[in-house]
Amino acid sequence: MKKILFYKVRDPYGEFSNFSSFGFTDDENMYWPTSEHYFQAKKFKSLVLQEKIRNLKSPMDAAIEGRNRKNPLRQDWEDIKYDIMFYAVYQKFNQNSILKELLLSTANLPIIEHTANDSYWGDGGDGTGQNQLGNILMEVRNKLRSS
């Protein structure tokens, strides 16, 4: 069975990466340059820290700051991280027509973040990971198709 594999921004389907430079505006009318910026910022309750991350130059800078364990992670993070990611990915694809068309063009093919670097959001590189980002993309695809 054919599948959509993605990871690096410059590879096929790199637009599916949280590091791809497609921004969106959230429900509070704040512009986020990438879904990675949004996801990393929402790890924290501090609005000052969220704003710092939102304004960082690159998604890698946002990821580094979001992974900085000197920053106080919100206590409910493990409970809400999937919903935060879903929201960011949905907004990104819903607000960018090129991305929306690309995602819908994948029909019903499985979408897999293929990387050994992550076994929660990705497939762990060998298919044993949870592929939660791929699952979100497929869920967003279904939601966009029905709207």
pLDDT digits (tens, 9 = 90+) for 5-25: 999 999 999 999 999 999 999
User: Region 99-105: what's the mean pLDDT?
Assistant: 98
How confident is the model over 72-95, as a mean pLDDT?
Answer: 98
Q: Which of 43, 40, 22, 5 is nearest to 91 (CA)?
A: 22
pLDDT band at 112 (very low <50, low <70, confident <90, very high): very high
The share of the chain scoring above pLDDT 70, in percent, equals 100
Give CA angle at 29 (25, 32), nearest 5°.
35
**Can you give the pTM of this predicted structure?**
0.96
Q: What angle do CA 4, 5, 11 make, to 5 degrees?
A: 115
Return the percentage of the chain with pLDDT > 90, whole number.
Answer: 99
